[in-house]
Structure 1
Amino acid sequence: MKTHSTTGLYWFRHDLRLHDQPSLAKTAQQCDALILLYVIDPKWFKTNQFELVAMGAHRQQFLYESLVTLNDNLKANNQTLHVVVGDPVETVCSMIREHNISIFGFGNHQGFYERQQINSVVRKFDSLTIVSSHNASLFTPDSLPFSLDNMPDGFTPFRKQVEQRVMPEPCVPAHYGFPPPPAIAQTDWQTLPLHHGAISAFQGGENAALKQLQYYLFDSDLVATYKESRNGLDGWDYSSKLSAWLANGCVSPRRVYQELKRYERERTENDSTYWLYFELLWREFFYWQQAKHGSKWFSQTGIKNTISHSACNTDIIKQWQAGQTDNAYVNACLRQLNATGYLSNRGRQWVASYFVNELAQDWRFGAAYFEQQLVDYDVGANWGNWQYLAGVGSDPRGQRQFNLAKQAQMYDPSRQFLRLWGERNAS
């Protein structure tokens, strides 16, 4: 029986949802008052070493909508989301001191800086009760069939070991009895430094995530033909479009897996349904790779410590960013990215290959531009895929170069994509 009042703090980061949140549920159970916090880092909007900002307008819009939805869903459970603009570590530490926090909850994330943040907070407070869980992945370090230090650096051996020896963790039901928040200033949503206007087809938030999951599987049966359609270049239905919600944690990968298995039981199981799981495994692979390799994830020489192109020609890079190169398909893809915040998997490979091979520029500048622009930016998948293609990452074949003329003939034989996003869309 509790002998004194306890106040808890849960720090939302890449988990903007209520379902499948074991550490949130455990934190709520252990305290009498609870602060639910999200921190907006001003560094996201300041020019970085690549002459870019970390979070462009498309990402800002999606994040804003995700936070609003989370707050609405919390209100339905007699709670609220407290959003603060400031340095994340300083903000969290200040909240812990100011409100005499005794229980600190969060979801683990394997990003290098995300792990640094948690370590910086925890080591400042000896008496905190820590409540954490792995809520951004299919597996946990304990369930993986190898230690992270001994994890394969190639996707195929990773996939084979995982498929043979482990199943994804089950989803945790979302049953909350939230304690109330203490007296605390309410968030002024209109003053948050995030783009509020609708400029993207993607609607942020948990509700939209679950709606899209239901649509792609059970409402449309599109998942049953995913393997055949996944190389599409434009439109909504050629792929699941779940990546943005996964990246922001509006839906958990375990929830996607759970619904996929239900679809296979109730409707059909085929190569296409497996392929969606296959893509989840690619995401999982990069997620744990970043934990293994730490700061090498952002190093020019990558996880292989291999020399790559080091050129940094500002004019060339800006022309590539604007879709003003000598290749019409690269230009079309980048104009699509700039206008929508999204680019097909095939398009991403084309523009990255062109950047690294034809333009011979430092791959990190391309990865940083994707970080700024992509509504589904994910630190593991983005930097891991760019390393992979540049020949400094996990690809055993080394640097990958696409024959773009051949690729265009294969995937856009009628030139429909080029007509849609080509010269008439030039700025």
Structure 2
Amino acid sequence: MRAIYWFRNDLRLHDHPGLVAASAANELLLVYLWPKQRPWCNTQGLGEQRERFISESLLELAKDLQPLGQNLLVLQGSPELVIPDLVRDYGVDALHTSQCPGSYEARALRVLRERLDIPVLEHPGSALFKEADIAGLCPELPESFSPFRRRIEKNLTADEPSRDLPQLPAPPALQFHRIPPPRIKPPLGLPLRGGSDAGQRRLKQFLESGAIRRYKQTRNCLDPLEGSSTLSPWLSLGSISAREIASAVREHEAAHGPNESTYWLYFELLWRDYFFWRALRDGVALFRHGGREGAVSRCTFEPRNFARWCAGDTNHPLVNAFMHQLVSTGWMSNRGRQIAASCLIHDFGIDWRYGAAFFEKHLIDYDVGSNYGNWQYIAGVGADPRGGRAFNIDKQAAQYDPDGVFTQKWDGHRPPQPMYVTDAADWPISPKDT
């Protein structure tokens, strides 16, 4: 029996149910298809840092596979076209992959099941809990996070991750192409490298340094590594699993005692899980302006203001600093993401999906459920029961960057510009005209 395992956002060997199941074959072909970024909301392609982090993660996975007698076939193209060719050319009997939300991802699996005469098996993905357990406690997924959290916390404990390497059969005879190295190096402002080893090192450092015991107080720090766990880049690609992080936190609590901050890291994992299940449930509605409920809100697309926001050239120095940090490093603090999103949605009145698409391009920790779910949350068309969050940016700057150190570091002060300009006919454009 010959099988394919199709890696998606699960680039690791440990704690990997899908890979273990696929290893029952006599021969196993391991495949990764490079993300195809379709033009969407005036944005296309991958940002330099996101592309770099994916490349490093793939190279690390391929290196980890070599002692096991395996290799990784990295290809480009749509799964609906590439995978049927592999199945035909190598006489494959089964296709395995892990659960992954997203409308294109769901469509690809649906088309593959229609086109292939072999089993297409979807295994548990990057969530903290099993789908059956979530369905048993929440047959109807709550529309906001708090009811979900209360039910899950009271009744479920994440399974212990498997730390054993799977026994992988050899691949079929074929030519494996060299995975090209990244075109750029990690930025000095955030020197995080992709791959499971780097993720495990960061988790160990975060726990052993005691940073986790101050996490609730420091998590809103605007610069990385000063307060945030910065585990999200490895979580997003599945180089480390949520179960591994939860287990490490439990071990830390057993040795040193729990506190409010150790709980808060677990709380953040629950938020991530909620957005994962919500993204699977909502499907294409995750990408609609009005969300699942089709909420109606006023918005526009003023290209000049969107370009200013993307370039970090607004009249808000703190927002500019966040946007410069994002493009330079591929990362932005959670607080920064909320403030930048509020600026685009509530100050500029632009459709939230343009901002979500720009984040998708650049974030090294891009995760479809968390990214689009959080943008919906700020816009008031998603999981926020209050109907959206508009931030007072001056107040946020005074609270989180009182001395302007972060803003100065990331060149946030730009020459002021008028909100509106005149068109070619010299007609002034004002809010009442739009």
- TM-score, length basis structure 1: 0.93
Indicate whether 1:317 and 2:317 are aligned.
no
Indicate whether 1:154 and 2:148 are aligned.
no
Indicate whether 1:35 and 2:25 are aligned.
no
Contact 1:159–1:281 (CA under 8 A) maintained in structure 2:
yes
- Runs of 4+ in structure 1 off by over 6 angstroms are none
1:136 — aligned with what?
126
User: Which whole-Å deviations, capped at 9, do the CAs of 1:362-409 have from their partners, x for residues lacking one?
Assistant: 110011011011111110000000001001111010121111111111
User: Which whole-Å deviations, capped at 9, do the CAs of 1:11-62 have from their partners, x for residues lacking one?
Assistant: 000000001111211211x211110000114x32x5x132212421111000
Contact 1:21–1:174 (CA under 8 A) maintained in structure 2:
no
Contact 2:101–2:368 (CA under 8 A) maintained in structure 1:
no
CA distance in 1 between counterparts of 2:378 and 2:218 reads 23
How many residue pairs get aligned? The number is: 413
1:21 — aligned with what?
16
Give 1:233 deviation, angstroms: 0.7
What is the identity, as a one-letter code, of the residue corresponding to 2:362? Q
Q: 1:1-80 maps to which residues of 2 (within 5 A)? A: 6-28=1-23, 30-41=24-35, 43-44=36-37, 48-80=39-71
1:93 — aligned with what?
84
CA distance in 2 between counterparts of 1:271 and 1:423 reads 34
CA distance in 2 between counterparts of 1:425 and 1:15 reads 41
CA distance in 2 between counterparts of 1:154 and 1:358 reads 25
User: Which whole-Å deviations, capped at 9, do the CAs of 1:180-238 have from their partners, x for residues lacking one?
Assistant: 11111111323x8x6454345220011111111111112x1110110010110114131
> Superposition RMSD on alpha carbons, in Å?
1.8
SS at match of 2:122: strand
What is the identity, as a one-letter code, of the residue corresponding to 2:27? A
Which of 276, 284, 292 is the aligned partner of 1:303? 292
CA distance in 2 between counterparts of 1:132 and 1:299 reads 26
CA distance in 2 between counterparts of 1:86 and 1:148 reads 37
What is the identity, as a one-letter code, of the residue corresponding to 1:198? P
Contact 1:308–1:362 (CA under 8 A) maintained in structure 2:
no
Give 1:149 deviation, angstroms: 6.0
User: Which whole-Å deviations, capped at 9, do the CAs of 1:303-352 have from their partners, x for residues lacking one?
Assistant: 23111233111111000100111111111111111111111111111111
Give 1:92 deviation, angstroms: 1.1
Indicate whether 1:172 and 2:162 are aligned.
yes
CA distance in 1 between counterparts of 2:385 and 2:134 reads 22
User: Which whole-Å deviations, capped at 9, do the CAs of 1:271-305 have from their partners, x for residues lacking one?
Assistant: 00000000001111111011111111000111231
Distance 1:31 1:425, change over 3 A: farther
SS at match of 2:361: helix
Q: 1:204-243 maps to which residues of 2 (within 5 A)? A: 204-218=194-208, 220-243=209-232
Gaps of 5+ in 2: 416-434
CA distance in 1 between counterparts of 2:343 and 2:120 reads 46
What is the identity, as a one-letter code, of the residue corresponding to 1:151? L
1:351 — aligned with what?
340
SS at match of 2:279: helix
1:255 — aligned with what?
244
1:102 — aligned with what?
93
Give 1:123 deviation, angstroms: 2.6
CA distance in 1 between counterparts of 2:317 and 2:331 reads 18
What is the identity, as a one-letter code, of the residue corresponding to 1:32? N
Contact 1:224–1:268 (CA under 8 A) maintained in structure 2:
no
What is the identity, as a one-letter code, of the residue corresponding to 1:40? W
Indicate whether 1:327 and 2:316 are aligned.
yes
Indicate whether 1:384 and 2:384 are aligned.
no
Contact 1:62–1:203 (CA under 8 A) maintained in structure 2:
yes
SS at match of 1:143: helix
Contact 1:367–1:382 (CA under 8 A) maintained in structure 2:
yes
Contact 1:335–1:425 (CA under 8 A) maintained in structure 2:
no
CA distance in 1 between counterparts of 2:414 and 2:248 reads 39
Distance 1:328 1:113, change over 3 A: same
Contact 1:329–1:422 (CA under 8 A) maintained in structure 2:
no
User: Which whole-Å deviations, capped at 9, do the CAs of 1:126-149 have from their partners, x for residues lacking one?
Assistant: 3x2444321310112201154776
Give 1:425 deviation, angstroms: 8.9
Percentage of identical aligned residues: 35
Contact 2:215–2:264 (CA under 8 A) maintained in structure 1:
yes
2:116 — aligned with what?
125
CA distance in 2 between counterparts of 1:239 and 1:331 reads 21
SS at match of 1:189: coil
Which of 342, 354, 373 is the aligned partner of 2:362? 373
